[in-house]
C-alpha cells in the first residue's frame, strides 16, 4: 500500500493545514472561505518547478485552474498532498490514475462558470448577428458602410 499517506495532524497543538492555490492569479474567492480553517499558499505557478519547497513538503490540499499540469512525476513531489480540487469542469491536466495510486483524491467543479459561458455565447451570437465588431472596425478605419 505505497499510496497510503500518514494521517493529517490537526487540532489545538497542530497548525492549520496548508492548502495551496497552484496556478491562480489571486485568492479573493478562496481566501475568505478557507482563512479560518487552513493556511492558504498562493503560488501563481506554471509548473511544479515554480512551487516553493514548503508547499511541496507540507500542502495537504491543492486548488488549481487549467494552466498547470500535474503528471505522476509532479504529483510525487508533493509529500503530504491528500486532495486536489480542479476549479473548473475538467481534469485533463491531472494524471488521475497516478493521483489515485498515490492516495490523492481529485475533485472538480463541473458547474463552474455555466451561467457566464451561456452569457458569453449569447453575446457572441448577438455580435455576429448585429455585426458590431465589423461596424466598429469600419468606423475606426473611416470606411463607409
If you average pLDDT over residues 19-24, what whole number do you get? 90
Domain shared by 129 and 65, yes or no:
no
**pLDDT, tens digit (0-9, with 9 covering 90-100), for 40-93:** 888 989 999 999 999 999 999 999 988 999 999 999 999 999 999 998 888 899
Domain shared by 120 and 51, yes or no:
no
- The CATH number of whichever domain residue 30 belongs to comes to 3.40.50.720
**pLDDT, tens digit (0-9, with 9 covering 90-100), for 106-125:** 999 887 777 888 899 999 99
Name the pLDDT band for 101 (thresholds 50, 70, 90). Answer: very high
Residue 33 has pLDDT above 60, yes or no: yes
Domain shared by 59 and 96, yes or no:
yes
> Which residues have C-beta within 8 Å of that of residue 129, sequence separation ≥ 6?
none
38 occurs within a structural domain:
yes
Structural domain count of the chain: 2
Helix, coil or strand: residue 64: strand
Domain shared by 77 and 91, yes or no:
yes
Instruction: Show the domain range for 118.
Output: 113-145
51 occurs within a structural domain:
yes
Q: Are strands 83-86 and 39-42 parallel, antiparallel or unpaired?
A: unpaired
Amino acid at each position: 500500500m505505497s499510496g497510503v499517506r500518514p494521517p493529517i495532524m490537526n487540532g489545538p497543538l497542530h497548525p492549520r493545514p496548508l492548502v495551496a492555490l497552484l496556478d491562480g492569479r489571486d485568492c479573493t474567492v478562496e481566501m475568505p472561505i478557507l482563512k479560518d480553517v487552513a493556511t492558504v499558499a498562493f503560488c501563481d505557478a506554471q509548473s511544479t518547478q515554480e512551487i516553493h519547497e514548503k508547499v511541496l513538503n507540507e500542502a495537504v490540499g491543492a486548488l488549481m485552474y487549467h494552466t498547470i499540469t500535474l503528471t505522476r512525476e509532479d504529483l510525487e513531489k508533493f509529500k503530504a498532498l491528500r486532495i486536489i480540487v480542479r476549479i473548473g469542469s475538467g481534469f485533463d491536466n491531472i494524471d488521475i490514475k497516478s493521483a489515485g495510486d498515490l492516495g490523492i483524491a481529485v475533485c472538480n467543479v463541473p458547474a463552474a462558470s455555466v451561467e457566464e459561458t451561456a452569457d458569453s455565447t449569447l453575446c457572441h451570437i448577438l455580435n455576429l448577428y448585429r455585426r458590431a465588431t465589423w461596424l466598429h472596425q469600419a468606423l475606426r478605419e473611416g470606411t463607409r458602410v
